Each structure stands twice: as C-alpha cells, then as structure tokens.
A and B are shown apart, each in its own frame.
Chain A
Amino acid sequence: MIALGKLHEFGHGVFGAFWPSVFIVVSTLIKIACIVAPLMLSVAYLTLLERKTIGGMQARLGPNRVGPFGLAQPLADGLKLLFKEIVIPSGADKAVFLAAPIFSIAPALAAWAVIPFDEGIVLADVNAALLYLMAVTSIGVYGVILAGWSSNSRYAFLGGMRSAAQLISYEIAMGLALIVVLMVSNSLSLGEIVKSQARGVFAQAGFSVFSWNWLSLFPVFVVYMVSIVAETNRAPFDMAEGESEIIGFHLEYSGLAFALFYMAEYASMILCATLAAILFLGGWLSPFSCFPNGFHWLFAKVFVILVFFFWIRATFPRYRYDQVMRLGWKVFIPVVLVWMAVVAAWMMSPLSVWK
C-alpha cells in the first residue's frame, strides 16, 4: 500500500491532473497482459496436451522428440508457422482475407474480460456479463464467413457457409441453455451466478458439488456440453476443418494467418470450458466444504472439461452434416425449450430449490 502511495505521488508529479486516467489505462493494460499471456501459453500447451492425450488413446506415445517429453513441441510448431509465407490467393479480397483471422481470435480473447477467476478477481465486473459474452462470442462467426468468402475459392466458400450455419444453429441451443441458467441464478453477472450455486440443501450439508447447476439442470448441462463442442468446431462436429474428406473455410490460409485460426479454436475451447465450469460446475467453489474455495478449483474443472474434449475427439467419428443440423434443430432446441418451461414452473412451485 505504501508502494502504491509512492507510485501515485510520482504519477501526479509526472502527469499532473491526467494521472488518474493514466493510472486506470496502464493498470488495466497490465491486467489484460496478466490474462492474455498465460492464456496464450495455455493455448500453445493445450495443443501438446491434446496430441499426447489422443496419442495415448490410440495406443501410441504422441510427440516426444522435441525437448524432454516433447515439451518444446509447441515452440517448434509456432516457430515453423512463423517462418512460413502467408500466401494470398490471386483474386482474393486482400484486406478481408487478412482481417478474417483477427475476427476469429479477437472475440475469443475479448470474452475473458468478464470471466471471474475467484471472488472479485475479474478484469471488468459487468453486471450484464452473460449478455456481453453472448454478443462477443457470436462475432467469431464473421471470421469464419469472411475467411471463406474472401479466399476466392469455391471450397473455402462452401466450407465457410457450412461452418457459419453450424455455428449459428448451435449458438441458439447454447443461448437458450444460458437463459435457463440465468433464470435460476437470477443474475447476469458471472460472479453472482457462481455464488448462487453455493446455496441449497446440499451446500448446507457440506456437499456443494450437488448444489451446482449441473444436477438441477442436468438436461441443459448435457445440451450445453455438446453445444460447446459444436460451437468450437471440435470433433465430432469439426465440419469446419474436416481435413480427411471435406475442406473447411481456412483452406487458403497458411503460415501465421492459419496459426491465428488455430489459436482461435483453442482459445475459444478454453473459454467455453471455463464458461461451462462457471455456469454449471460452480466456478471457483470447492466441491466439499472441508476444502477452501479458490481459483485452483476453477482451473481443475477447466482442465477436466478440456481433457473431456480430447477424449471425445479420440473416440467418435465425425458427424455427417445433415446429422449435425438435425441434432441442433430437432433435438437440442426442443429439449432446452421444454426444460426452460419445466424450470420456470418448478421455480414458481413450492418445490423450488433455488429460493
């Protein structure tokens, strides 16, 4: 605190009356760096974790040549992509072509502004955080559609159309699932949503793990988990990439531009896993009251969900496109709509567990 006081004194000396605004800008930038830098590192090492996990499930070892246990593999991959040429196809819309990867990765990073890591540890404690999240993450679809369109390639264009349709379809199911969550927690702020999960019969008995939203909203939880797999374009819903038979929207991309799409996919994977942990698995709350709450619980939950993602990818074959659409529109949306009505009636009844 004394150090902070001296800093303010020094700042007033240098900037005078502008100091308060300068202080806010600089401290926010530092906070952003504190979130984005570890996030990018996690993105890099998530690729390694994925390759190791999937390798293990396919009875092989995964990368183990670069560095001890293959730990330098992400650096080698990044370096390789860094030195590759970004080929811009002739006839491509250059400005849009180069802007599309940014449209893809920016929302996945911007959404982290409202994610609470622990009680009060959040960059921007917006009271409409859930709305902000839904608004920001849906911008990602522009990256897909612009990349497909600006490439001047039929395959990329069709791939972009396909992925955009998939993303929009599953966004509806996901959005409806979020509505159910905000109904029961009576708040749009993520911090409040986490805190509301600490209340309940089980939480009072010391087993807060059963008071979290996943149990009371189980069908919604299942729909949400599958929707985020589809939303992040992960196998078995990876129509966007489909490297073995159909080709996706980033067909014409190479080098660092392609790496941005790749990083966007992994960043939004971490984001969606964190959201699932916050909305349904009690964020930073500890599962049993004998352990203290803390951000390590959030990280552990996110890790488990991410491994679950890889597990799904290693196990299931890719969905056919019409099956993806059928699942989204004819199964998930009706299920969530029905459960929304059920929850609404439940909340109004004397049996409500959310009082």
Chain B
Amino acid sequence: MPANFLFYALSTVTLAAALGVVLNKNAVASALSFFVCLCGVAALFVMLDAYLPAFLLILVYAGAVVALFLFIIMLLDMGGGDRKPLKKTTAAAALITAALLAAGVVSVLSRGKFSTEPPVPIPAGSLFTDLKLYGAKLFTTYMLPVQLVGFLLLIAMLGVIVLSKKQGEDKKP
C-alpha cells in the first residue's frame, strides 16, 4: 500500500535527521538536520490530515526558529560545536538513559488498547478540513487561550529586548 510505504519512508527520514541533530559535530549541520526533521514531521502531519498544523510547523519552526538558530550560531561563531571530544562513558550513560525512557513509555503504552484500525474518514465540513470552522472555534470556544497566548508573545518580546540590551547602556549619555 502506498500509505504504508509513505509512512515508513517519512519516519525513516525524520529519525535519521533527528539523529543527525544529536550526532553532528558541526552546529550548522545540526541546525540543517533539524530543518529536515521538521519537514518530515510536517509531512507526517499531512498524513494525519492536520493541514494547518503542518503549515504552521513549516512556517514557525522551519522558517523562523531554524533561521534564528542559524543566526545565533553565526553570532556566537561556534561552527566547531563541542570543543573537547566526548567521554565514552558519558555517551553510553546518555544512550542507556534515553533507551530506558523509551522503554518506560512503551511499557506504559502497551498496557492500553490501541485500535489498529484505520482512522474514521473525516466528515465533510469538519474542523480538520474547513479553515473557517477552525478560526470560528479559536475565536469562540478558545477565546481566552488566544488572548493569553497573545499576551505571552508580547511579554516574550519585551523580555528579549531587555535581555539583549547591552549591559550598562543606560549610564552612557
């Protein structure tokens, strides 16, 4: 089936890119792997019929966040990434801990019953497909969260301005 093949191909690309983020010595290469990983996740979103989140993921994450990371990497001039080579024991301990985390989550999940059936087809005029309904829901049911998130963005903007001001700038005329 083409959907099966698509899922496996996309998940392979995504996981390979995620490992690239972690294992690359060069920080710029890590950021670009992160970009590929985000594109893979966005494609998986499209497979799940979540078109707006996929679009937002590309726009916000792959567009703005990765560009910001690349800017900071250039600003701090640390293309070399880690200076000292990693200790073998550190890497092994990190790997074992991550594997334990994954095993723990999987063991919890395997208690539950996941239906292996394909998802129910989406009815026409559902929130998944209709952007107008999505917007209507955001501005009726989720009005308060939208307002709060707007304030959060404003506060984050102010915080970034305060943080990136040069120290002792006020004393100079």
A binds B: no
What residues of chain A have their CB less than 8 Å away from a CB belonging to chain B?
A: none
What residues of chain B have their CB less than 8 Å away from a CB belonging to chain A?
A: none
